[in-house]
Amino acid sequence: MPDSATFDRSLLRAIQEASPDGILVVDGQGRVASFNRRFLEIWRISGEQMASSSARKGGAERDSGILPEAAEKVADSEGFIRRIRELYANPQLSDHCEIELKDQRTLERHSVGLRDDSGEYLGRVWFFRDITARKSDEAALRHLAMHDSLTGVMNRNQFFERAGEELRRAQRYRKPLAMLMLDLDHFKRINDVHGHGAGDAVLTTTCQLWMSELRSVDLLARIGGEEFALLMPDSPLSAAQVAAERLRALTSAAVVTFQDREIRFTVSGGIAMVDPDDSTIEAALHRADLALYRAKKAGRNRMEIAPDPPGGEDAAPD
């Protein structure tokens, strides 16, 4: 039968090697007491590197030899080393954070001080876990919550949240803010003649074309079946008109091929400037919708400017 000390060491080693975390244990003198295979895998340090470094030092590897090598892989290497030194200088501190690596991975780090039964400091244990996949999944879920699943542009809820922020910013700094309502002409006919798959292809292609022309600060959202809202920060009416006409021309020139059939389509739109007295973004959206209605009545495939004050027309036709 193995003695108690041998059993404890074997148990500790088995637990370390079975852990999904990379584990590094450093004693009170800054020497590496133990580490597991997962630690080497996460930091992409070979066992030969650890053994070679230890041999050069004539004994146990010191943590100071591992730190620079690990820091080279961290995006914020200075902050990484600064925090580790702070933790070593303050044994009572614990740590839980996320670390961004230069290779685009994300690690989760936990660290606690080790003490014996009398409270004497024995060293520190570090736990590292690769959470890159989890972070990617979380980002994908956030994207789905904020974007239209078909076209990839913002969904209605996200648009109104972001648009409200832009409204407050425009009012605070007295910046122009333009609102466009865009609606694909005779979209129901596309679905009826070519099928809903063709309609989806038209919507997706349209959004891709528009996004390629818009600025990074512009907010495009699908707020209905074939209806889109576009908010353009820091844009006077003249700039909004130019952008709207560019989108209209781009759309009318587009061709979507679906099941060997070519589909052409157009867009109508209404343009409204956000008024400094608007309490909500919906007021400007309503004015833009009225202008869209006029564009539809005037023959479609055109852009109209919202009246000031707005008229009392009904909702826009298809």
* Annotation marks residue 227 as catalytic: no
Q: How far apart are CA 257 and CA 254, in angstroms?
A: 10
The answer to whether the beta carbons of residues 121 and 28 sit under 8 Å apart is yes
> Could you tell me which of 281, 139, 279, 296 has the C-alpha nearest to residue 223?
281
* Other CB atoms within 10 Å distance of the CB of residue 301: 17
| Closest C-alpha to 267, from 297, 247, 294 | 247
How far CA 147 is from CA of 151, 159, 221, 291, in Å, comes to 8, 9, 8, 26
Question: CA angle 149-151-157, nearest 5°?
Answer: 60
Residue that the structure tokens 């879920």 belong to:
141
Please, which residues have CB within 8 angstroms of residue 45's CB and are 6 or more apart in sequence? 39, 66, 69, 70
- Mark out the alpha helices in the chain (DSSP H runs): 4-18, 37-43, 47-56, 63-71, 77-89, 132-146, 156-173, 187-194, 196-213, 237-253, 281-297
Q: Which of 61, 166, 226, 304 is catalytic?
A: 226
Entry field: residues in the chain: 318
Q: What positions carry a catalytic annotation?
A: 226
